Amino acid sequence: MKKKPTIFSRISKWDLAIILTTLIILSASTAANFYQKQPAIEISSSLISESSKVDYSKAGYSKADSSTAKLPINSQQLLELLQQNNIQALQAATEVGKVVFTLSSEEQQNQAVQLLQKNSGKQFSIKKSAIDTRPTWLQKLSLEPIKLGLDLNGGILLIYQVDSGYALKQKLITIQQLMKKHLRENRIHGIKSEVVQQGLLQLKTNSHSKLKETASWLLNNFNDLRIVEEKPRQMLLAFADDYQSHFHRQIMAQSSTLLRERIEKLGITESVVQRQGANKIRIELPGLKDKTEAERMIGTTATLDFYQLAEHGEKLNLPDGQNLYIDPIPIFTGKNISDAQSGRDELGIPSVNLLLDEIGGDKMLSFSSQNIGVPMVTVFSEYYKNANGETKKESRVINVATIQQALSSRFSITNLDSPTAAQALAESIRAGSLSAPITQVKHQTISATLGQSNITNGFKALALGFAVTLIFMGFWYKRLGLIANLSLFVNLVCLIGLLSILPGTVLTLPGIAGLVLTVGMAVDTNVLIFERIKLESQKARNSFHAIEAGYNNAFKTIFDANITTLITAIILYSIGFGPIKGFATTLCLGILTSMFSGIFVSRVLTRAFYRHIKITRTN
């Protein structure tokens, strides 16, 4: 009883306060990991009258009302059905017309959903969900368990490369077409132009003056063009460098946003869409099993554009073998389409009903009111990569229709081949059009089983490493070893707590390996200090001074040693993605927590209990 006042009088209250606050926050964060979300399914019965069809061809929307009648659900029957198929489910909540069952694993969740959909189908709508098992105090603090990476969760990884160079070249081609139009209208002949591979516009002529004239027209009308090379009869133009990088950034941002929207439409929560490197987009879809559906939805590169005919212009082939020439500038593009629904026109022929946004509506109105009786061409294009890896655009004329009246934001494309074609077209349009072609450069499907076994194995390794380190330190350093072990425990709690609390940190399998490594290296700090203490005690100081001197003198060495590992960990963090990034994160954070617990925490502990420590003097 007498000892208590002396222990606390030796350590500064401030030190103690820091340690306790950090510990409390981070151990609460670590505790959140014990309350994982439980897989569940929501079964609700509702009668909705036939799927609401939006009729665009007539003025104003008409939407069928959804009925509010809900039938009660026989949950007992459903539970028995699940039981018969070896699915253990527990009833968690009931409302009128809605039942929630909890299941023991995600696999059972999937099986349950499949089973119930097969058996009950139209009667219910079945939705996967998850139940938050955290106690209220954790929820209030918004502390959640660690986010798991794809290699621990199972799921699908897709990496797309965005070809903004292609889009830039297309822009240049458009400018070239406009230039040709201008030259024709002003009867300037003799200028040959070509867009060459690297995104350069090449002008060749016999008359130097005409060249100059054309060039200045181009520079005046398109501010971002620059002359790259100038010879008497030849000129090369390109977009300015800063415009190119601005354009590239814009394309990357647009593509990321679009892909993110597409994924949200797939209904996948917890997906990750990240820019990777200069021109790639990384998409992680945890929990998904089959990538074909996801790929189809995400990777469509279809665009729908509307053109007017022109005497000289871009050539398109019609399916019946004829040729068309269209004005290269579209009346409006797929970007201006807000919504597209498949349906039928008055004669029952499959059609797609379009709704344009304000800009599109204006453009359509001004064009159609001035061009009644003029045909409008609907062109469907898709990007693909040919055998040489070059991006090519394949365009197909869907429709050539004469404009009968002034149209604005709502109209239909009719005369499609079949209802399925109409649906597919509507879906492609709704997916939105990409501004630049994307190609898939990597995909990976990781099964949930593998993910689960990775988690188990990873933590087995951690447990073993931790246990053996504890035993060794306790044995070798005896009482000081106990302090080392305590600080190691604090280290681990802080590390897991930090990983849970910091946004954007994800645990991966190499990340767990990093945890194990940190445990192994964390003792280094303590060992350095303890060996130092032994050394200092040779100088015939009393044990307290030996301890203090030990901590002080070892600090610089510890700092140096840890900084170098930190440097490599940071470099790894900056170039790595996915699993490697997880490893780098655990390494970086591990170094910080090791220093905190190895120096700060164990110092406080040693000071508090120094009387109980015997230091064996080495000769």
Residues that bind other proteins (CB under 8 A): 151, 159, 161, 277, 280, 290, 292, 389, 440-447, 449-450, 453-454, 457-458, 460-461, 464-465, 468-469, 472, 476, 509-510, 512-513, 516-517, 519-521, 523-524, 527-528, 531, 535, 556-557, 560-561, 563-569, 571-572, 575-576, 579-580, 583-584, 587, 618-619
Q: Which stretch of DSSP H or E encloses residue 475?
A: helix 448-501
Cα separation, 398 vs 380, in Å, equals: 6
Closer to other proteins at the Cβ: 204 or 280?
A: 280
Candidates 256, 255, 248; CA nearest to 165 is: 248
State the minimum distance, in angstroms, from the CB of residue 589 to other proteins. Answer: 14
Closer to other proteins at the Cβ: 188 or 450?
A: 450
For residue 351, the 8-state DSSP code is E
State the minimum distance, in angstroms, from the CB of residue 392 to other proteins. Answer: 17
State the minimum distance, in angstroms, from the CB of residue 109 to other proteins. Answer: 18
Closer to other proteins at the Cβ: 170 or 553?
A: 553
Closer to other proteins at the Cβ: 419 or 465?
A: 465
Any idea which residue has 């999937």 for tokens? 110
Closer to other proteins at the Cβ: 4 or 539?
A: 539
State the minimum distance, in angstroms, from the CB of residue 587 to other proteins. Answer: 7
The DSSP annotation for 396-462 comes to EEEEEEE--S---SEEEE---S-HHHHHHHHHHHHT---SS-EEEEEEEEE-HHHHHHHHHHHHHHH
Closer to other proteins at the Cβ: 196 or 467?
A: 467
Can you read off the two tokens belonging to residue 187? 């009867």
Are the CB atoms for 35 and 126 separated by under 8 Å?
no
State the minimum distance, in angstroms, from the CB of residue 576 to other proteins. Answer: 7
Kindly tell me the burial class for residue 379, based on how many C-beta atoms sit within 10 Å of its own C-beta (0-12, 13-18, 19 or more): buried
State the minimum distance, in angstroms, from the CB of residue 298 to other proteins. Answer: 15
What are the residues whose beta carbons fall under 8 Å from the beta carbon of 545, sequence distance 6 or more? 536
State the minimum distance, in angstroms, from the CB of residue 152 to other proteins. Answer: 11
Closer to other proteins at the Cβ: 361 or 511?
A: 511
Sign of CA dihedral 83, 89, 286, 340: positive
State the minimum distance, in angstroms, from the CB of residue 329 to other proteins. Answer: 34
Sign of CA dihedral 200, 204, 207, 208: positive
Closer to other proteins at the Cβ: 123 or 445?
A: 445
For residue 57, the 8-state DSSP code is S
State the minimum distance, in angstroms, from the CB of residue 44 to other proteins. Answer: 31
Cα separation, 157 vs 529, in Å, equals: 45
Closer to other proteins at the Cβ: 44 or 445?
A: 445
Can you read off the two tokens belonging to residue 546? 């030996």
Closer to other proteins at the Cβ: 292 or 405?
A: 292
Are the CB atoms for 5 and 119 separated by under 8 Å?
no
Can you read off the two tokens belonging to residue 154? 């199972």
Cα separation, 402 vs 53, in Å, equals: 27
Instruction: Calculate the CA 602 to chain-centre distance.
Output: 41
Rounded to the nearest 5 degrees, what angle is found at the Cα of 321, between the Cα atoms of 316 and 325?
Answer: 25
State the minimum distance, in angstroms, from the CB of residue 250 to other proteins. Answer: 23
Closer to other proteins at the Cβ: 209 or 619?
A: 619
Burial 220-236 (b: 16+ CB within 10 A, else e): eebeebeeeeeeeeebb
State the minimum distance, in angstroms, from the CB of residue 41 to other proteins. Answer: 24
State the minimum distance, in angstroms, from the CB of residue 107 to other proteins. Answer: 11
Cα separation, 298 vs 265, in Å, equals: 10
Q: Which stretch of DSSP H or E encloses residue 93?
A: strand 89-95
Closer to other proteins at the Cβ: 156 or 403?
A: 156
Alpha helices per DSSP H over 45-163: 75-84, 106-120, 136-140, 150-153
Cα separation, 258 vs 299, in Å, equals: 10
Region of 271 on the Ramachandran plot (φ > 0 left; ψ -120 to 50 alpha; else beta): beta
State the minimum distance, in angstroms, from the CB of residue 461 to other proteins. Answer: 4
Any idea which residue has 């005497």 for tokens? 311
> Is residue 73 helix, strand or coil?
coil
Candidates 218, 569, 166; CA nearest to 383 is: 166
Closer to other proteins at the Cβ: 32 or 499?
A: 499
Can you read off the two tokens belonging to residue 79? 């539970």
State the minimum distance, in angstroms, from the CB of residue 451 to other proteins. Answer: 9
Closer to other proteins at the Cβ: 64 or 464?
A: 464
Closer to other proteins at the Cβ: 429 or 591?
A: 591
State the minimum distance, in angstroms, from the CB of residue 118 to other proteins. Answer: 18
Rounded to the nearest 5 degrees, what angle is found at the Cα of 298, between the Cα atoms of 297 and 302?
Answer: 80
Strand partners, 469: none
